[in-house]
C-alpha cells in the first residue's frame, strides 16, 4: 500500500527535486532550501514545523493517533562546490555549486515521507520527527551536532536515514549491522629544516627529503602495525615545499586524512603518526609539528535496528532488494553522531543502472534515475510505521 501510494506521488517529488537541484546551496548557506522545505511541510496537514534549528535546520513533528515509540528520520540539504556538467533542464543555476552527493534526493524523499505519513496519521502509533539537516559536508564540524544540541532528536527511540549509493544496483538497499562508514580525521604536518645551496646539500637539512621519508614511513603504519583485518587508510593529499629549484627546501607542509572503523585503531594511528614524525625528524635533524584533528566518527548501525530495516525492505520491495554482500565504506557521514545518541541504522539505496555509466558521488556528472525518489520516500515511511507500531505492541 505504501509503495503504491508513493509511486503516485512521484511526479510531485520530481518537481521538488528539480527545484532543489537547480538551486543548490553549500554548507551553512541553505537558507532558501530550508525555506522551501518548511513551506512544503506546511502544506501537509498534521506536521508541526520548527525552523532555524542548528543553523538552517528544519524539524517537523507528527503525533500519531495511537501510543507508540518516537522515530526520527533524517535528510541532509547542502550541496558541494562543484560545477555541474549534466545537460539537463534542471541543471544547477548556481555557478560552481552542485548537488553531486544526492542530498537533494534525500531531502525530497523525506518530504515524500511527510506526505505519506500524514495520510497514515490515524493509524500511526507514536510520533515521527523529521530532521532536515544543514552542513553535512562541512567536515570536521558538520551540522548534525548542532542539530542534536538544538534538540532535533527530542525523545526519539530510534533514528534512521539513507544515502543514495551508485555502487549498488538501482533500488537495492544495503543494510549492514555494525560499522558501515569510517571515521574521518584530518592531519597536517610542518617540517622545519635548513636551507642551503642545492649544490651543497650537506650544509642544509632538506625538508623535502624528510617529508618524503615521512610519507613513505606512515604507509607502514597500515601495512605493518595494524591488524590486517581492521580496515584503515592513511592518505597524504597535499605536499607543499621549497621556493626555487636550486635551493634546499627549508620547510615543507603536508596534509592528509585517516579513515578508520574502530576507535582503538583510530587512537593507535594518531599516536603512531606522532612517533613516526618524531623519529624521521630525529634522523635528519629536522623539527616536525603534527596537528591532528578528529572529524566525523564511524557510522555504526545498531544490530536490532538493522534487522528491522531488513524486514521493512523485504516487506516493501521483496527479499531480492536486500543487498547483503557489500562491505563497509571508508567514506564518512556525520549521521554517525545521531547513532551515537540513539539506536538506529543508516542505509544505502542503490542508484546504479546496468549498462549505463554510473558516475560516483562528488562527480560533476553524478545523476540518478528519478524512480528512486518514491522508493526513498516509501522506505523512510515504512520504517517509521514499523518501528512506532512495534512500540505500541510493547505498551
Rounded to 5 degrees, φ, ψ at 171 are 90, -15
Residues 135/143, Cβ–Cβ less than 8 Å: yes
Peptide bond into 140 cis (omega under 30): yes
C-alpha distances (whole Å) from 142 to each of 27, 138, 365 are 8, 5, 25
Residues 280/212, Cβ–Cβ less than 8 Å: no
CA distance 277 to 193: 13
Half-sphere exposure of 14 (CA within 13 A, CB side): 11
Other beta carbons less than 10 A from residue 204's beta carbon: 17
Spot the catalytic one: 40, 78, 104, 250: 78
DSSP 89-117: TT--SSTT-B--SSHHHHHHHHHHHHHHH
Spot the catalytic one: 25, 76, 136, 334: 136
Q: Is 136 an active-site residue?
A: yes
Which residues lie below 8 Å from residue 178, measured CB to CB, with a gap of 6+? 300, 301, 303
Grid cell of 192 as nine digits: 622545519
CA distance 288 to 210: 9
CA distance 390 to 248: 68
CA distance 9 to 302: 31
Only one residue has cell 629536522, namely 286
CA distance 31 to 48: 19
Residues known to be catalytic = 78, 136
Amino acid at each position: 500500500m505504501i509503495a503504491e501510494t508513493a509511486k503516485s506521488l512521484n511526479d510531485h517529488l520530481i518537481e521538488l527535486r528539480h527545484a532543489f537541484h537547480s538551486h543548490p546551496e553549500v554548507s551553512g548557506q541553505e537558507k532558501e532550501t530550508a525555506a522551501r522545505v518548511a513551506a512544503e511541510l506546511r502544506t501537509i496537514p498534521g506536521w508541526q514545523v520548527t525552523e532555524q534549528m542548528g543553523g538552517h535546520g528544519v524539524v517537523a513533528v507528527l503525533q500519531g493517533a495511537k501510543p507508540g515509540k518516537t522515530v526520527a528520520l533524517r535528510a541532509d540539504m547542502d550541496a558541494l562546490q562543484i560545477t555541474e556538467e549534466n545537460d539537463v533542464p534542471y541543471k544547477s543555476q548556481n555557478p560552481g555549486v552542485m548537488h553531486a552527493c544526492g542530498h537533494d534526493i534525500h531531502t525530497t524523499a523525506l518530504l515524500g515521507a511527510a506526505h505519506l505519513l500524514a495520510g497514515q496519521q490515524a493509524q500511526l502509533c507514536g510520533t515521527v520527527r523529521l530532521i532536515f539537516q544543514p552542513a553535512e559536508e562541512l567536515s570536521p564540524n558538520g551540522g548534525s551536532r548542532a542539530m542534536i544540541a538544538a534538540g532535533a532528536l527530542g525523545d526519539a527511540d530510534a533514528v534512521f536515514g539513507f544515502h543514495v549509493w551508485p555502487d549498488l544496483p538501482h533500488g537495492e538497499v544495503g543494510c549492514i549491522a555494525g560499522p558501515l562508514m569510517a571515521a574521518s580525521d584530518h592531519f597536517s604536518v610542518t617540517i622545519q629544516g635548513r636551507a642551503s645551496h642545492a649544490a651543497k646539500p650537506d650544509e642544509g637539512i632538506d625538508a623535502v627529503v624528510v617529508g618524503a621519508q615521512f610519507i613513505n614511513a606512515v604507509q607502514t603504519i597500515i601495512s605493518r602495525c595494524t591488524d590486517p583485518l581492521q580496515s584503515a587508510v592513511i592518505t597524504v593529499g597535499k605536499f607543499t615545499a621549497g621556493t626555487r629549484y636550486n635551493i634546499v627546501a627549508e620547510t615543507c607542509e603536508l596534509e592528509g586524512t585517516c579513515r578508520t572503523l574502530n576507535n582503538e585503531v583510530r587512537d593507535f594511528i594518531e599516536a603512531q603518526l606522532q612517533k613516526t614524525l618524531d623519529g624521521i625528524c630525529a634522523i635528519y635533524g629536522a623539527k616536525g609539528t603534527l596537528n591532528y584533528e578528529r572529524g566525523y566518527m564511524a557510522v555504526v548501525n545498531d544490530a536490532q535496528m538493522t534487522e528491522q530495516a531488513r524486514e521493512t525492505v523485504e516487506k516493501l520491495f521483496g527479499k531480492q532488494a536486500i543487498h547483503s554482500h557489500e562491505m563497509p565504506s571508508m567514506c564518512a557521514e556525520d549521521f554517525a553522531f545521531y547513532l551515537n545518541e540513539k539506536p538506529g541504522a543508516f542505509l544505502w539505496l542503490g542508484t546504479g543502472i546496468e549498462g549505463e555509466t554510473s558516475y560516483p558521488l562528488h562527480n560533476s556528472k553524478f545523476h540518478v534515475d528519478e524512480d528512486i525518489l518514491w522508493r526513498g520516500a516509501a522506505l523512510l515511511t515504512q520504517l517509521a510505521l514499523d518501528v512506532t507500531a512495534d512500540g505500541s505492541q510493547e505498551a
